Amino acid sequence: MAKILFITATNTNIGKTYASTKIIERLSNAGLKVGASKPIETGVDTIPQDAYKLLTAVKKNNVNFRDFTPFDITAYSFSLPSAPFVADSNGIINISKIIDKIVQLKSLCDVLIVEGAGGLMVPIKKDYFMLGFIKDFRNGQKRLLTWVKATLKAYLGLPYLIGGKLNSSNLEGFLRRKA
């Protein structure tokens, strides 16, 4: 069964995509089939750029993603560069659709990198934040791996890595850890 690595941070434009692509490279070099999902991306003119970067990294080693476009790994994309709740002016975001997308992509890999939108307290819907999505998703899955600041452990009681230097020993140990 594939493991999920949820990438989040404290804000937008803070390096989540960069960290995600480096994790994808490291895990792929270790022989794992890695996939990626950017469930919600805002500030999209024509192509979701974060999803494009993630997918480009994944396609190098996972044939299951070779025919995908950035839209195939994104449940929602919006042109307004803001929190998903604000960008979604028509109120179309459906959390079940996001979870279905993640579950579909998870079946195509050993590890699925899921990159959140903005930071932990970014609203996805009115009174529903990224932090709540992570918690709800975790409750609906047997395993969830997260890459977050140590403070997230206090909120959810999840295993975590402190953002920073990746090396083979801490990443391999993290992948063996049970949620």
pLDDT in tens, 65-101: 999 999 999 999 999 999 999 999 999 999 989 999 9
Mean pLDDT of 106-130: 90
Helix, strand, coil share (%) of the chain residues, nearest 5 = 40, 15, 45
**Would the pLDDT of 125 be above 80?**
yes
The structure tokens listed for 39 are: 């469930």
Superfamily of domain 3-143: P-loop containing nucleotide triphosphate hydrolases (3.40.50.300)
- For 2, phi then psi, to 5°, come to -70, 150
C-alpha pair distances (Å), 51 with each of 30, 39, 44, 152: 22, 9, 10, 24
pLDDT band at 147 (very low <50, low <70, confident <90, very high): very low
The structure tokens listed for 32 are: 């794992």
Mean pLDDT of 31-47: 95
- 178 classed as catalytic: no
Mean pLDDT of 35-55: 96
Q: For the whole prediction, is pTM greater than 0.85? A: no
**Would the pLDDT of 156 be above 90?**
no
What pLDDT is attached to residue 26? 87
What pLDDT is attached to residue 10? 67
**Would the pLDDT of 20 be above 80?**
yes
Out of 3, 16, 33, 38, the active site residue is: 38
**Would the pLDDT of 163 be above 50?**
no
With left for phi above 0 and alpha for psi between -120 and 50, is residue 76 left, alpha or beta?
Answer: beta
**Would the pLDDT of 148 be above 70?**
no
- Among candidates 74, 70, 77, which has minimal Cα distance to 55? 70
